[in-house]
């Protein structure tokens, strides 16, 4: 359909024009905020000598549940302080280095 096919009082909206005039999604701003929060979290992790099981799972690319299972089997070194389970960074690095040598 072209504009000459339309009556004079009709308005023809080209779908391409409406896509160009739409505002950009807000997800870009949200993504930047999330990245900034992740960087702050990484900076905080670097100053500590232990990691939570969740942080360890993220670093190793494991699910949270699987990381807890590995801790309970002794495959991931951990210490328990009260109800908290922490993974010493030095022990985790040692574990990863020994796996690279094998």
Candidates 100, 84, 87, 80; CA nearest to 45 is 87
List CB contacts of 54: < 8 A, sequence separation 6 or more: 64, 67
Residue 71 pLDDT exceeds 80? yes
- CATH code for position 84: 1.10.10
Q: Answer whether residue 85 is part of any domain.
A: yes
Confidence of residue 100 (pLDDT cuts 50, 70, 90): confident
Give me the percent of the chain exceeding a pLDDT of 70: 56
Range of the domain at 79: 49-102
Number of domains in the chain: 1
Q: Answer whether residue 10 is part of any domain.
A: no
Region of residue 77 (phi > 0: left; psi between -120 and 50: alpha; otherwise: beta): beta
Q: Answer whether residue 35 is part of any domain.
A: no
Q: Answer whether residue 76 is part of any domain.
A: yes
* pTM greater than the 0.85 cutoff: no
Confidence of residue 72 (pLDDT cuts 50, 70, 90): very high
Q: Answer whether residue 34 is part of any domain.
A: no
Q: Answer whether residue 90 is part of any domain.
A: yes
């Amino acid at each position: 359909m072209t504009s000459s096919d339309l009556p004079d009082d009709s308005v023809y909206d080209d779908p391409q024009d409406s896509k160009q005039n739409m505002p950009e999604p807000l997800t870009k701003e949200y993504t930047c905020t999330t990245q900034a929060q992740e960087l702050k979290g990484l900076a905080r992790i670097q100053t500590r000598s232990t990691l939570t099981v969740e942080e360890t799972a993220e670093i190793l690319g494991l699910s949270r549940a699987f990381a807890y299972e590995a801790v309970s089997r002794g495959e991931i070194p951990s210490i328990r302080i009260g109800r908290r389970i922490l993974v010493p960074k030095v022990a985790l690095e040692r574990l990863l280095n020994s796996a690279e040598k094998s």
